[in-house]
Structure 1
Amino acid sequence: MSAKFSCGGTVVGRLSDLTPIEAGAVLYLRLWSQCAKSCANAVRDFAIALSTSRGRAAISTLDHMLPLCAQHGRRTFVQHGTECGCLGAEENCFAPMIAAGAEGEREDAMTMASLVVRLDYSPALSSLAEEFGIALR
């Protein structure tokens, strides 16, 4: 977990209010950022749902997104714990970005990406969001 990722933060919503793709995006973001065991659980879930090779590709996409968010984020990327039903502000931008990408709504994904990272990195993040969103779909 990068130094620019932090736990907790202001609550802006609930996971239960999100679409399945949005909730999945937040949950896998949290899993991948926690510990080796939770990362292994995420890898297993994707391998079961998508096949081993496609699952690895989806996890690789997520693994590229998080450093981008941490290193080039507009602010510290605050997230809640895996068991928490709350939704933080950064997670609230991340979730619809992934969902927009999943639906091929590239302009919307780019807009949300520009809220997460510096503008010059938003095309890369929105492209990764599309790849990851399609995997979640």
Structure 2
Amino acid sequence: MSAATNRGGAAIGRISDLNPVEAGAVLYLRLWSDGAPGRAEMARDFAIALGADGGRSALAILDQIFGLCALHGRRPLIRHGSGCVCLGADENCFAQMIAAAAEGEHDDALMMALLIVRPDLAPALVALSEQFGLMLRRMAGRCAAPAVVH
């Protein structure tokens, strides 16, 4: 593999360094890329955490996100395997875009989207990223341990 095609796969950290929304974005990027078995696992996760309608909505949003990335990406996103603890450069860019959009930091999300897709489609990618990031926040909130009050 040439340096240019491998650049996005360079390990820059660990999944454990990410917050729950960022880690979820990487997990679902990897599962999506695993094909039908990964997508079935995602569908189960989303249905459990978001309900049947919310789960279908999350999958539809991911369809649109990855459709934009595949059809209009500057280059293919490089990802690590589903079980890998490393965090790749492309995965981190994707995760940061999702998290920034969900936090309302649209300028930061747009900057990262410009690294992933054509400039004319970056705003659409940010809008979808915001929707998906908010779903990931809801999922993380439901999985969080209850606060202990003393």
- TM normalised by structure 2 equals 0.82
1:73-100: CA deviations, max 9, x gaps? 1222111111011111211110011101
The residue aligned with 1:21 is 21
Contact 2:9/2:90 (CA < 8 Å) preserved in 1? no
Question: How do residues 79-118 of structure 1 correspond to structure 2 at under 5 angstroms?
Answer: 79-118=79-118
In structure 1, the gaps of 5 or more residues are 1-5
Letter in 2 for 1:72: H
Partners of 2:88 and 2:43 in 1: CA distance = 24
**In structure 2, C-alpha distance between the alignment counterparts of 1:77 and 1:103, rounded to whole Å:** 23
User: Identity over the aligned pairs, expressed in percent?
Assistant: 60
Q: CA deviation at 1:11?
A: 1.2
Distance (whole Å) between structure 1 residues aligned to residue 74 and residue 56 of structure 2: 28
Quote the Cα distance in structure 1 between the aligned partners of 2:49 and 2:76: 31
After TM superposition, the structure 1 stretch with the greater mean CA deviation from structure 2, 89-98 or 103-112, is: 103-112
Measure the CA separation in 2 of the matches of 1:106 and 1:9.
25
Task: Give the aligned partner of residue 130 of structure 2.
Answer: 130
Distance 2:103 2:135 in 1: 11
Return the offset for 1:50: 0.6
After TM superposition, what 4+ stretches of structure 1 lie above 2 angstroms from structure 2? Answer: none
Q: Distance in 1 between matches of 2:76 and 2:36?
A: 22
**Corresponding residue for 1:32?**
32
Larger Rg: 2
Please name the residue that 1:64 is paired with. 64
1:78 paired to 2:78: yes
Structure 2 residue identity aligned to 1:23 = A
Report how far residue 59 of structure 1 moved: 1.2
**Any idea what SS the aligned residue of 2:78 has?**
strand
Extract unaligned runs of 5+ from structure 2. 1-5, 138-150
Matched AA of 2:9: G
1:13-61 per-position Cα deviation (integer Å, ceiling 9, x unaligned) = 2111111100000001111110211111100100100110011101110
Q: What residue is the counterpart of 1:9 in the other structure?
A: 9
Three-state SS of the structure 2 residue aligned to 1:12 is strand
CA root-mean-square deviation: 1.5
Aligned residues between the structures: 131
* Counterpart-to-counterpart distance in 2, 1:87 and 1:63: 22
